[in-house]
Amino acid sequence: MRTNGSLPPLSLDPLRIEAASGEIDTVLVAFTDMEGRLQGKRLSARFFLEETLEHGTEGCDYLLAVDVDMNTVDGYAMSSWETGYGDFVMAPDLSTLRRTPWARGAVMVTADLTWHDGSPVAASPRQVLDHQRRRLAERGWHAYAGTELEFVVYLSCPRVLRSSRRR
């Protein structure tokens, strides 16, 4: 699956050069969990280039079967206390490799989740989305989506707000 971000992609050659010079020292390998949060691993750039690039990195399928408080949720066939919590492979999708503007010296790459036999983890949100995208393409359709960000801005510090009893 290919995604487009607002930051330009970073290819492997510049990553190798900047990792060798120390300009990039960290690679975040991430996937989206069932709650829409990024989960993953923070790796040294050297380890990423020498090991993870070819073999991926492991993650526990527990991460796809928890609620927002990281408590296990019943009803997942792929993982539970009864069947055990196994591992999947986080395979970097290099088309998503980008610099992280919030963390100097770091880049991030989105991972596709696969089982150790190479088959996709069908329940992972990225696979679910890709499956739906392919179904649309079969009909000649395209989906367009956007996010709606909601937040509150306070003009006072927390101490002042607490004393004023505003909620």
* Tens of pLDDT, residue by residue, the chain (167 residues): 445 556 788 999 999 999 999 999 999 999 999 888 999 999 999 999 999 999 999 999 889 888 888 888 877 777 677 777 889 999 999 999 999 999 999 999 999 999 999 999 999 999 999 999 999 999 999 999 888 888 888 788 878 877 876 55
Query: Is 2 within a domain?
Result: no
Q: Give me the pLDDT at residue 85, please.
A: 80
CATH number of the domain enclosing 108: 3.10.20.70
Q: Domain tally for the chain?
A: 1
Q: Give me the pLDDT at residue 70, please.
A: 84
Query: Is 157 within a domain?
Result: no
Q: Give me the pLDDT at residue 5, please.
A: 52
For residue 50, the enclosing domain spans: 12-121
Query: Is 76 within a domain?
Result: yes
Query: Is 67 within a domain?
Result: yes
User: How far apart, in Å, are the Cα atoms of 38 and each of 46, 52, 133, 152?
Assistant: 22, 18, 21, 22
Q: Give me the pLDDT at residue 167, please.
A: 55
What are the φ/ψ torsions at residue 69 (nearest 5 degrees)? Answer: -95, 10
Query: Is 156 within a domain?
Result: no
Taking the C-alpha atoms of residue 26 and residue 129, their distance in angstroms, rounded to an integer, is 28
Query: Is 145 within a domain?
Result: no
Measuring CA to CA, which residue among 141, 138, 109, 113 is closest to residue 125?
Answer: 113
